[in-house]
Structure 1
Amino acid sequence: MSSSKPSRLTSLICGEFYDDSSRPKLAPKQVSIEILSGLTVSLALVPEAVAFAFVAGVAPLVGLYAAFIVGLITALFGGRPGMISGATGALAVVMVSLVMTHGVQYLFATVILMGIMQLTAGALRWGKFIRMVPYPVMLGFVNGLAIVIGLAQLEQFKIAAPDGSMRWMQGEMLYTTIGMIILTMLVIWQAPRLTRLVPAPLAAIGVVTAVVIGFGIDVPRVGDLASLAGGLPAFAIPSVPFTLDTLVIIFPYALILAAIGLIESLLTLNLVGDMTEQRGGASRECAAQGAANLVTGFFGGMGGCAMIGQSMINVKSGGRTRLAGVAAALFLLAFILFAARLIEQIPIAALVGVMFMVVIGTFAWHSITTLRKVPRPDALVIITVTAVTVVEDLAIAVVVGVIMSALVYAWNAAKTIQASKRPSVREQGAIVYDIKGPLFFGSATGFRELFQIKDDPDTVIIDFAGSRVVDQSALQAIEDIAAKYHEVGKTVMLRHLSRDCHRLLSQSGQLIIDSDDDPEYKVAVDYRVRQGAFQAGH
C-alpha cells in the first residue's frame, strides 16, 4: 500500500513525529475530542498551578500565567503533540528558597536565564542524550512520579483553621470529600462504556460538580484555594540589578531548574511517545521548553516543564495533536479572564479524584512482578529511582539511576575480556593473542592478566578483531603490556584495529605506522607500539 504524504495543515497540527499508520485523522469527531480533552486538562491544571504557586511562595496568578504561557508555546512548537506542560512541583520546590531570600523579581530573572539554557541545549541537540536513560530508570521515574502525584493530593485534605493554620479534615467533611472522590473515580471508570464523545474525566468533573451544587454539599471548592480572576499577563523586564552579583545569585538556580525541567520533559516525551507511537522530537522539545520559559519570565510566570499527570489525562482522553494542548492553554486563560467564578465552584474532590485515577493509570503495576524476573541490579535500579524521586527529586533520581546502570554495565562488560592463544600463520615463531570483549577502564586490569610474558616467544601479536580499544585506560594497558615485553627483549605488534581504535591509538602516538590495512586485498598490518606515549604515574 502506498503511503500518501500528509497535507501541510495535518503536519502542522499533528506534528511530524507520527508515521502514516499512527497519525490521527483530522475528522470533526477527532477535533471535538481534542478540544474536550483540552478542556479537561485545563480544569485539572487549575488546582495544580495554584498549589505549586503556593509551594514556590508566589501569588496564584504567577502559577496560572506560567501554566498558560508554557502550555501554549510548548503545544505549538514542542516535540511531542499531546504532551502537556505547565507549572510543576519539581520546579516549585527549588524556587521557594530563592523567592524567600531575594523576592519574586529574582525568580522571573532566573526563569529567563533557565529558558536561555534550555534553548542552548536544544540548539546543541542535547535532547538526543535522553536515549541513554535505561528502561529500569524509566520505570522508576514513572512509579516515583505516580507516587509523588498521589502524595501531592493529600494536601487537599487540609483546611484552614480559625487561627489561620492548616489542619486535616475531620468528621462529616472528610467522609463527604472521600465520597465525592470515589464518585469521581467511578464515573471515570464507567463513562467510556456509555460514550466516548466526552472524555471520562470531564464527565466526572461535571457530574460531581452538579451533585455538590445541586444538593448544597459542604466540601472545599477551587475558590477556597484562591481567586482565579485576573487580566492578561503583562510584559515586564524583571526589576533586578543588571550586575555580576545578580548573575551569581540566579545562575545556580537557573542551572538546576533547567536540568530538572529538561529531564522531566524528555522522560515524559518518551512516555507519551510510547503511548501514541511517536518518535524523535527530543531536541525540538528542549528548544520549545526554553522558549516557553524565556517568554514566561518576561510575563510574570514562574516557569514550568512537562507534566506527566496532565499529559496522561490528555492522552487517555484522546488528545493526540497540538489542538488539545493549545485548547487547554486557551481555556485556562478564559478561566482567568471570564469564568473565574464558575470554575471556583468546582469541588476540589472532583479534581483529586481525577488525579488519583491518573496515579492508578500511570504507575507501572507490572513492574512489581517484574522485579522478581529481571536481573537483581535492574530491580535495584527501579526501586532506587522510585525512592529517590519520592524523597529527593526527579533530576537526582535519574542521575543516580543512570550512574547505577552504567556501573552495572561496566562491571558486566569488564568480565567479558578474554583471550585465546595460537601460533601465528604469517610470522614464523610468533604467538597471537586473539582478544575478545571491549578494552576499557573496567577491563584493563583483566587485560593485563591475560599474557604470559616470560613464556612467550620474541614476537607477540595482539589481535583486536574481536575487541575494541575504548578509552585512555585501554591505551595505558596496551602500553604497559608492550613495556613489560620490551623489558625482557620481546616485541609486541597490534593487529586488526578498527578505524576508531586505529584513530585513537594514532592520536595518542602509540602506533608506529609503516603502512595501513589494505581492505581491498584484506591484508592485515601488524602495528608496532611506541614506548612512552603515556607515562604512568605510580
Structure 2
Amino acid sequence: MNLLPSRKDDRPFLPASITTIATHGYGVGPFTRDLMAGLTVGVVALPLAMAFAIASGASPERGLFTSIVAGFILSALGGSRFQIGGPTGAFVVIIYSIIFKHGYDGLVLTTLMAGVLLLIFGFFRFGALIKYIPYPVTTGFTAGIAVLIFSSQMKDFFGLTMADVPPQFADKWTAYFQHANTINMQTLLVAGLGLGAILAIRKYKPRIPGPVVGVVLASLVAYIFGLNVETIGSRFGGIPSTMPDIVLPEVTFARLQTLLPEALTIALLAGIESLLSCVVADGMTGEKHNSNVELSAQGAANICSVLCGGIPATGAIARTVTNIRAGAFSPIAGIIHAAVLLAFVLLLANLASYIPLASLAAVLVVVAWDMSEARKFLRLMRAPKSNVAVMCLTFGITVFMDLTVAVGVGVVMASLLFMRRMSEVTSIDAEEEDTETWSNEVPLPDGVQVYTIDGPFFFGVADRFQSILAAMQKPSKVFIVRFHQVPFLDSTAINALESVHHRCQINGSTLLLADVGPSARGMMERLGVDLRVGTDHIFTSLDDALKAAHCLVGPDPTNCLPQQPIAARPALCEE
C-alpha cells in the first residue's frame, strides 16, 4: 500500500513496527533485547514524565498518562525503529501558558487541533518540509525554552513560600527576589543532593540513569530524616492508581479561533523535535526513518494523549538515545516502556507521594542545561551576522514575550534574509563580446544589447531587473535577455519580463529571449508569456538569438520575425 506517492519518498506508508519485523524477523533474542531496553527506558521516563507535567502547570499523573498513551501509539504507529515518545521540555512553556490562560480544558482542545494538523502534515507528506526550519531559529527558541524551564524551577528548588509563579520571565524573577527571605534550607539541601547525585552519576557511571538515582536518593533522605519539604503527596494528594476516563472538551468556533496559533505552535514543535530525534537515532544506528509516517503517528498520539488525561507529546531525544544504548531491536521496546509506566500507575502509585518536588526541580535544572546546548549557542555567535541576528531575536522573544511569536518571527526573518542572499547570488549583467560566457560563433551587431541573468529569477530579483533596463539612456533596437543558468523563475519575474516587453514595444525595440531552458519555457507557457512575447522570439541558444538580431538590425528586418503589434497591457503586468 502506498498512499499519495511522491517522487522524493515512495516508501510504503507503514509504521516501523511492521516494516522492522517484516524485514528483520522477530524471535526470542530480539524480544529479550526489547524487554531489557523497555524496562530501562521505562525507569528513566518515570521521573521525567512527572517533572515535565509539574513544570507545565499540570498534575504529575498527567505526565505519566502521556508517556503511557502517547508512548505506546508512537512506538506502535511511528516511522522510526527506536523512537520513544512522551512529554518533553520543548512543550513546558507553551503548555504552562495555555493552562494559565484557558485551563486544562483549553489545553485539550488546543492539542486536539495540533493532532489534526500533524495528521494532515503526515498524510500530505510534509515531513521533509518541517526539516527546513532554519537552524538559528531552532537553536534560539530551544535555548530560550531552556532558560524558561530553569527559571520556572526556582520556587521548588529553593522551597520559596509564595503564591503561584507568574508566567512571564521578568515577573518570575522579580517575585523570586521579593521572596528570597523565605528560602527553605531543608528543601535546598534535598535539591542540592538530588542535583549532585545526577551530576556525579553522569560523570562516573553514565550508563546508570542519573535522574532516577537523584530522585530516589533525595526521597529516601527526606523520608528517613523527616525533612520539612513539599512532596507530590502534600501538593497534589498523590497519584491515582487507575487510568482516567475519556473526557471531551468544550468546542466552540470562538475557542477554535483563539487557540489556533497555540495549536500550530504545538504541531510545529512536535514535528520538529520528533523528526530531530529520529535523525539522531538514524545517525546512531544507520537506519532511516519515515518522516511522514512519524508525523501521522504524532498526530494520533497527541489526540489520544489528551483525551486520556495527558498533555502534548513528541519524540524524546534523551529517552530515544537511552533506548538505543540499552540494545533495543524494534519499536516493541517503546511499547514495553509504556507498559512499565502503566504497571507503576496501577501497582506502585502510592510511592510517588513521597517524592520531594525539590528533587524533580533538580532533574529539570539538568534538563534545562542540556536543552540550552550552550556550546552550540556560543559557537553560532561566530556565524554570519544575519544568523546571529535571527538566533538572538528568536531567543529574546521566546524568553521575554511568547514562544508562538518567537517561532513565527524567527522563521519570517530567516526567510527574508535568505531571500536577500538569494537575490545577491543572482547577477544581471550587460554582455560584451570579450566576456567569458560569450558565444564565439556569432558576433554582437551594433544596436543590439545583451543582458544575462545568472541565477534564480524570482521576486527578489525582478525589481532589480526592471530598474537596470529602465536606467539605460538610449534604448537599443534589439534587447536580448539571456537566461544563463536560471534554474527557475516565478510569477513576479514573469511580470517583470512582460513589463520590459511592453516597454520595448512602445520604444520600437524588439525583445528576444535566449538560452531558455525547459523549466523556464514551461513556466512561460503556463502563464501565456510565450504568446505575448512571441514564440519565434524565444530561443534555446544565444547564437540563434544573435542570428535573428543580425537580421533585425539589417537593411530588411521585415522578414526576420513575425511583427509584434503594440498590445494592451497584459493583466499580469504592473506599472
Same fold (TM over 0.5): yes
Decide which of 515, 527, 552 is 1:508's aligned counterpart. Answer: 527
- Letter of the 1:446 counterpart: R
CA contact (8 A) 2:74 2:83 kept: no
Confirm whether residue 86 of structure 1 aligns to residue 87 of structure 2.
Answer: yes
> Hey, what's the Cα distance between the residues in 2 that align with 1:359 and 1:175?
18
Any residues of structure 2 matched to 1:384-403 within 5 Å, and which? Answer: 384-403=393-412
Q: Go from structure 1 to structure 2 and tell me whether the alpha carbon gap of 1:34 and 1:149 turns closer, same or farther (over 3 Å shift).
A: farther
> Hey, what's the Cα distance between the residues in 1 that align with 2:78 and 2:61?
24
Report the equivalent of 1:422: 432
Deviation at 1:67, TM superposition (A): 4.1
Report the equivalent of 1:4: none
- What's the CA shift string for 1:5-60, capped at 9, x where partnerless? xxxxx9628969xx99xxxx958567524421221112221132244354xxxx66
Q: Go from structure 1 to structure 2 and tell me whether the alpha carbon gap of 1:164 and 1:458 turns closer, same or farther (over 3 Å shift).
A: closer
Deviation at 1:315, TM superposition (A): 2.2
> Hey, what's the Cα distance between the residues in 1 that align with 2:523 and 2:240?
63
- What's the CA shift string for 1:99-149, capped at 9, x where partnerless? 3xxx83x76555444433332222122232212211212222332232233
Partner of 2:131, secondary structure, is: helix
> Hey, what's the Cα distance between the residues in 2 that align with 1:148 and 1:221?
22
Report the equivalent of 1:272: 277
Report the equivalent of 1:355: 364
Any residues of structure 2 matched to 1:286-365 within 5 Å, and which? Answer: 286-299=295-308, 301-306=309-314, 311-316=317-322, 318=325, 322-323=331-332, 325-365=334-374
CA contact (8 A) 1:110 1:250 kept: no
CA contact (8 A) 1:35 1:323 kept: no
CA contact (8 A) 2:479 2:510 kept: yes
Q: Go from structure 1 to structure 2 and tell me whether the alpha carbon gap of 1:322 and 1:371 turns closer, same or farther (over 3 Å shift).
A: same
CA contact (8 A) 1:441 1:473 kept: yes
Any residues of structure 2 matched to 1:451-530 within 5 Å, and which? Answer: 451=469, 453-512=472-531, 514=535
Decide which of 213, 234, 243 is 1:232's aligned counterpart. Answer: 243
Report the equivalent of 1:49: 53
CA contact (8 A) 1:313 1:358 kept: no
Give 5+ residue unaligned stretches, structure 2.
1-14, 166-178, 434-438, 549-560
Q: Go from structure 1 to structure 2 and tell me whether the alpha carbon gap of 1:370 and 1:183 turns closer, same or farther (over 3 Å shift).
A: closer
After superposition, the CA RMSD in angstroms is: 3.8
Deviation at 1:164, TM superposition (A): 7.7
Deviation at 1:434, TM superposition (A): 2.0
Q: Who wins on radius of gyration, i.e. which is larger?
A: 2
Report the equivalent of 1:36: 40
> Hey, what's the Cα distance between the residues in 2 that align with 1:45 and 1:404?
34
Report the equivalent of 1:219: 229
CA contact (8 A) 2:115 2:299 kept: yes
Partner of 1:132, secondary structure, is: coil
- Letter of the 2:350 counterpart: R
CA contact (8 A) 2:262 2:404 kept: no
Decide which of 357, 373, 376 is 2:382's aligned counterpart. Answer: 373
Name which of structure 1's ranges 478-487 and 523-532 shifts more when overlaid on structure 2.
Answer: 523-532
> Hey, what's the Cα distance between the residues in 2 that align with 1:492 and 1:26?
70
- Letter of the 1:234 counterpart: D
Deviation at 1:427, TM superposition (A): 7.8
> Hey, what's the Cα distance between the residues in 2 that align with 1:96 and 1:165?
10
Report the equivalent of 2:148: 148
- Letter of the 2:570 counterpart: A
> Hey, what's the Cα distance between the residues in 2 that align with 1:418 and 1:32?
63
Report the equivalent of 2:268: 263
Deviation at 1:486, TM superposition (A): 1.8
Deviation at 1:408, TM superposition (A): 1.0
Report the equivalent of 1:534: 571
- Letter of the 1:255 counterpart: L
- Letter of the 1:248 counterpart: F
> Hey, what's the Cα distance between the residues in 1 that align with 2:205 and 2:473?
77
Name which of structure 1's ranges 445-454 and 132-141 shifts more when overlaid on structure 2.
Answer: 445-454
> Hey, what's the Cα distance between the residues in 1 that align with 2:190 and 2:538?
77
CA contact (8 A) 2:112 2:302 kept: yes
> Hey, what's the Cα distance between the residues in 1 that align with 2:371 and 2:19?
24
CA contact (8 A) 2:513 2:537 kept: no
Q: Go from structure 1 to structure 2 and tell me whether the alpha carbon gap of 1:508 and 1:485 turns closer, same or farther (over 3 Å shift).
A: same
The sequence identity of aligned pairs, in percent, is: 21
Deviation at 1:248, TM superposition (A): 0.6
Report the equivalent of 1:115: 115
Report the equivalent of 2:255: 250
> Hey, what's the Cα distance between the residues in 2 that align with 1:274 and 1:110?
27
Report the equivalent of 2:557: none
Partner of 2:512, secondary structure, is: strand
Report the equivalent of 2:174: none
Deviation at 1:377, TM superposition (A): 0.8
> Hey, what's the Cα distance between the residues in 2 that align with 1:260 and 1:523?
53
Deviation at 1:159, TM superposition (A): 5.3
Report the equivalent of 1:7: none
Report the equivalent of 2:186: 173
- What's the CA shift string for 1:192-228, capped at 9, x where partnerless? 26xx3x3333333333333433444443333233120
- Letter of the 2:186 counterpart: M
Partner of 2:373, secondary structure, is: coil
CA contact (8 A) 1:83 1:269 kept: no
- What's the CA shift string for 1:422-478, capped at 9, x where partnerless? 367288554322222322222222212333655454222111022245222211211
Q: Go from structure 1 to structure 2 and tell me whether the alpha carbon gap of 1:172 and 1:303 turns closer, same or farther (over 3 Å shift).
A: closer
Name which of structure 1's ranges 204-213 and 401-410 shifts more when overlaid on structure 2.
Answer: 204-213
Partner of 1:422, secondary structure, is: coil
Report the equivalent of 1:3: none
Report the equivalent of 1:441: 459
Q: Go from structure 1 to structure 2 and tell me whether the alpha carbon gap of 1:524 and 1:364 turns closer, same or farther (over 3 Å shift).
A: farther
Any residues of structure 2 matched to 1:401-416 within 5 Å, and which? Answer: 401-416=410-425
Give 5+ residue unaligned stretches, structure 1.
1-9, 241-245
Report the equivalent of 1:184: 197
CA contact (8 A) 2:240 2:345 kept: yes
> Hey, what's the Cα distance between the residues in 1 that align with 2:197 and 2:520?
61
- What's the CA shift string for 1:264-299, capped at 9, x where partnerless? 122212432343216543322321122123334543
Query: How high is the TM-score relative to the length of structure 2?
Result: 0.75
- What's the CA shift string for 1:388-411, capped at 9, x where partnerless? 222344443222222111111212
- Letter of the 2:97 counterpart: V
Q: Go from structure 1 to structure 2 and tell me whether the alpha carbon gap of 1:136 and 1:53 turns closer, same or farther (over 3 Å shift).
A: closer
Partner of 1:415, secondary structure, is: helix
> Hey, what's the Cα distance between the residues in 2 that align with 1:209 and 1:359?
22
